[in-house]
Amino acid sequence: MTLMVEAQRVCKSFGRNQVLKGINMQVPEGSVVVLLGPSGSGKSTFLRAVNHLENIDAGRLFVDGELVGYREKGGVLYEMRDKDVCHQRSEIGMVFQSFNLFPHMTALQNVTVAPILVKHEPAEAAKAEGHALLTRVGLGEKADSYPRQLSGGQQQRVAIARALAMKPRLMLFDEPTSALDPELVGEVLEVMKNLARAGMTMIVVTHEMGFAREVADAVVFMDGGYVVEAGSPQEVLVNPKEVRTQDFLSKVL
């Protein structure tokens, strides 16, 4: 089994508030892991740490066997230079709750700007790939539309296409449907399901239980900065062992 993500005793505090308290987690290549838990449980902080948008205070985080955000010398961690962190981050796609599209750019420009500026891809090749990605997420006819002309679900699908344009090894989703009207949720989840079927490694923070049951290879329930329970969707969602997991699921299912 090849691990795409491995967390070893990861800790993170904001001031006196310890948000992650020794998180251990393994995400095999090609798998989908769903993180569940109440607000403040540390899910989003952990996701941001995988992309080194948050540095960690202790432990180790590896993506595809490579230490994230740090170099280790003599057992001591030294934070990487910004340039090296950006290179690592370019291979990890991330989709947020808010779409964060550039409002003055069309959908196609939003998708192609990073490959052109960061990866120095020729503009015509990037545009061709951008059109293909917009078609893949069901928005081929919206290439010249600006974000204000798109629904929330369409904007989120553009954000997914933008992340995919960098050809990431790993995709991170931080509650990608929570800002959407209920009738728009399905179109975004369908794109994510198709990514999973295509073999993309994904870590997804979500409260969409149907998605977790249908798509996840593993479900991790977090609370208070700890992993309380982890296992298959059947084990965690249908037959949870921990009382805290049972209590949470009784409120959301």
User: Are the CB atoms for 84 and 91 separated by under 8 Å?
Assistant: no
Take residue 252 and report the two structure tokens written for it.
């959301």
- Alpha helices, DSSP H, located in the chain: 43-50, 82-89, 107-117, 123-136, 152-164, 182-197, 209-215, 233, 243-252
- What pLDDT, on a 0 to 100 scale, did the predictor assign at position 252? 87
- The answer to pTM > 0.75 is yes
Give the residue among 215, 166, 168 at the shortest CA–CA distance from 189: 215
Can you tell me the distance from the alpha carbon of 223 to that of 39, in angstroms, rounded to the nearest whole number? 9
| pLDDT tens digits, one per residue of 36-71 | 999 999 999 999 999 999 999 999 999 999 999 999
- Mean pLDDT along residues 73-99: 91
Can you tell me the distance from the alpha carbon of 63 to that of 237, in angstroms, rounded to the nearest whole number? 27
- Mean pLDDT along residues 14-27: 97
- What pLDDT, on a 0 to 100 scale, did the predictor assign at position 75? 84
Can you tell me the distance from the alpha carbon of 134 to that of 154, in angstroms, rounded to the nearest whole number? 10
- What pLDDT, on a 0 to 100 scale, did the predictor assign at position 197? 96
Take residue 199 and report the two structure tokens written for it.
């073999």
In sequence order, the 6+-apart residues with CB closer than 8 A to the CB of 28 are: 1, 2, 3, 4, 201, 217
| pLDDT tens digits, one per residue of 193-221 | 999 999 999 999 999 999 999 999 999 99
In sequence order, the 6+-apart residues with CB closer than 8 A to the CB of 89 are: 51, 52, 53
Q: Which residues pair with 219 in a beta bridge?
A: 34, 231
